[in-house]
Structure 1
Amino acid sequence: VLPAAAAQRDPAGRDVHWASDREALWNAAERAEKRSNARVAREYELALPHELTKTQRLALVRAFAAEIADRHGVAVDFAIHAPHRAGDERNHHAHLLATTRVIEPGGLGGKAPLEWSDTNRRKAGLGPAKEEILALRARWAVLANEQLLGQGHSIRLDHRSLAARGIEREPGSHLGPAVSGMERRGIETEVRRRL
């Protein structure tokens, strides 16, 4: 998904269609960075409501990717994963990769403001990047809840932590696919014993 995805043009009306080619996009992202340990993408992992159909989940992910692209001027590539057949059938999720640099005609430009240091963000009149990430999480919840409501589902997502919601309990621990698979087969694990 490109900024202003419908027109696939930058604000000056120049063509940025080159970034629609995944290979060209990610090769350009690699070439744009000079340091061997530079970040070339920002990843977002989204839990998708299993109550929605495949088509509805795709529309939801596309809408969120377009908002990230338009808000930050970056390209966003995504993949939607269905649950593993031996896993939890509700585990629909998506991985989004956003370029860390702004999309321009003929290549990638400078770092997107989300990637700037908080000092540089302050100089530009922006808040800390952490606040921007929280705003994106909140926006995801709004989009997902609008889709759920539109499809007649009563369940809602909340992007806030348990503590922020006033819920006094420890968050669950992520077991991972190997441990989860063992437990589904009735094998007791050391990880579960420690919990």
Structure 2
Amino acid sequence: MAAKRHLLSMLHPASRLEVVLHSRADGRSAVKSAAYTARTTYRDARLGRRFSAGRRTGLLSHEIIGWTEGAEALWNAAEAAETRRNARVIRELRPSLPRELPLQEQVRLVRGYCLWLRDRYGVAVQADLHAPRFLSRADEQRLRRGGSKRADEQYLKALFDPERTNQNFHTHLLMTTRRICSDTGAFGEKTRELDDRKTGPEELLALRREWEKRANAALKRVGAEARIDMRSYKAMAEAEDAPEGLVAQDHIGPRRSARSRKKLQKDGVDTTHAGQRRQQIRKNNDELWQNWELLRSLEREKARKEASAEIAAQREAERKQQAESERQRLASARTRDEADAAFARASQFESLRSEDPLHRAISAAFEAPHEFDGPQDEFSEEVDMETCEAPTKPHREPVLQVRVEKVRVRQR
């Protein structure tokens, strides 16, 4: 049970939402990025080039929100709306998806979040949900050779197997950097509130909070105990929801991930520099979590005992105060009727002392022990258990004695 509580208290691996800006200054093309995440082929009219990513696998869902035409038309229009050489055409969000959610719930979560982005900022969004990577490339190729419904079911089942994949379900959300008119489809003003130095951090925090709220609601809906937390380690430590000193893992990217997988398949251990660093960070974080959980458990037990003692002391003080009040009420009674009425309302007394001889005798019997003035008998003296003999019961003569006599009967 302690191990289970520890795992639940640790930060969920899906507590991640990365924001990436695609700029022409970096040599990026919105059409190329969209083709890569959609695992398909698009032609960039501005550059006169065709970008293909159809050989890549792992696409589980593709959807366009806030735009009536296809994705290729969307991003060519987005490129045409920009004139500057260093223009930002795409703002990409990369949230991780909890592995506890079935695929249909993951798609539902992503769609709902994209609709929220459209309504809040007036943008169009391309949502591509990607599968986790298989630990064995041959295993993935064998599962994807099928094509039948049964093969697809086996492939989806394998995705959720931690022995076969890295469980890294995630989605790429490509947002336009300009608002789009819902009636005409024309590109309007820039979403400057996301780029402003003052409002940008606040909007980024709002993006994370909304994703956290929706993801946790989906986890609760499917009955999963896991929850994600989009706060930073520093913010969690300041709120006393996590230990201090936790280190966030760096995103190693596809190239370093490929090198780590090769080392893992060849040697059984990831000996790359990035892999060793991740293992050391994970080990240190786990130790911090375990020590913090133990300390919190001790503090909760101490607080529980202190609270119980405080409640008991408070109740005893209230009882004494009530008893003193009832004593004063009884003492102020002038007649027997007033005393009886005060006693009837009292809750701290079991009997009422009166001038009745019987009550006086009973009270005297309970107030102090009395010495017996009569003769001492054998039971009032100390007995030596080694030499003492148990008293024997005196033998009593029977009142009637049975006597048997033989009688001789004469026969005739």
TM-score between the two structures when normalised by the length of structure 2: 0.40
**Are 1:55 and 2:104 matched, yes or no?**
yes
Offset of residue 77 of structure 1 = 0.5
Offset of residue 81 of structure 1 = 0.4
Residues 95-121 of structure 1, C-alpha deviation per residue, up to 9 Å, x if partnerless?
000000011214211112434534xxx
**Are 1:162 and 2:239 matched, yes or no?**
no
* Paired position in structure 1 for 2:170: 93
**Cα pair distance change 1:173/1:116, threshold 3 Å:** closer
* Paired position in structure 2 for 1:117: 196
Is this contact kept in 2: 1:179–1:191, CA < 8 A? no
**Cα pair distance change 1:173/1:27, threshold 3 Å:** closer
Q: Distance in 1 between matches of 2:186 and 2:229?
A: 37
* Paired position in structure 2 for 1:142: 213
Of 130-139 and 83-92, deviating more is: 83-92
Residues 11-65 of structure 1, C-alpha deviation per residue, up to 9 Å, x if partnerless?
xxxxx63xx3211110110011111221101000010011111111000000111
**Are 1:64 and 2:113 matched, yes or no?**
yes
Q: Distance in 1 between matches of 2:220 and 2:263?
A: 34
**Are 1:29 and 2:78 matched, yes or no?**
yes
Match of 1:132 among 203, 206, 210: 203
Match of 1:190 among 261, 266, 273: 273
* Paired position in structure 2 for 1:9: none
* Paired position in structure 1 for 2:259: 179
**Cα pair distance change 1:116/1:165, threshold 3 Å:** closer
Is this contact kept in 2: 1:72–1:114, CA < 8 A? no
Offset of residue 132 of structure 1 = 0.4
**Are 1:38 and 2:66 matched, yes or no?**
no
Total equivalences in the alignment: 173
Is this contact kept in 1: 2:260–2:272, CA < 8 A? no
**Cα pair distance change 1:70/1:95, threshold 3 Å:** same
Tell me which amino acid in the other structure corresponds to 1:28: A
Of 97-106 and 180-189, deviating more is: 180-189
Identity %: 39
Is this contact kept in 2: 1:100–1:115, CA < 8 A? no
**Cα pair distance change 1:193/1:94, threshold 3 Å:** closer
* Paired position in structure 2 for 1:122: none
Greater RCO (Cα-Cα under 8 Å, separation 6 or more) = 1
Q: Distance in 2 between matches of 1:39 and 1:171?
A: 28
Listed as ranges, the gaps of 5+ residues in structure 1 are 4-15, 119-126
Offset of residue 149 of structure 1 = 0.3
Offset of residue 90 of structure 1 = 1.0
Offset of residue 193 of structure 1 = 4.8
Residues 59-98 of structure 1, C-alpha deviation per residue, up to 9 Å, x if partnerless?
0000111101110000010110001122743100000000
Q: Distance in 2 between matches of 1:161 and 1:116?
A: 21
**Cα pair distance change 1:132/1:26, threshold 3 Å:** same
Q: Distance in 2 between matches of 1:2 and 1:174?
A: 28
Offset of residue 139 of structure 1 = 0.6
Q: Name the SS for the 1:25 alignment partner.
A: helix
Query: Which is higher, the Rg of structure 1 or of structure 2?
Result: 2
Q: Distance in 2 between matches of 1:184 and 1:92?
A: 20
Listed as ranges, the gaps of 5+ residues in structure 2 are 1-63, 137-164, 238-242, 281-412
Q: Distance in 2 between matches of 1:35 and 1:112?
A: 16
TM-score between the two structures when normalised by the length of structure 1: 0.80
**Are 1:107 and 2:186 matched, yes or no?**
yes
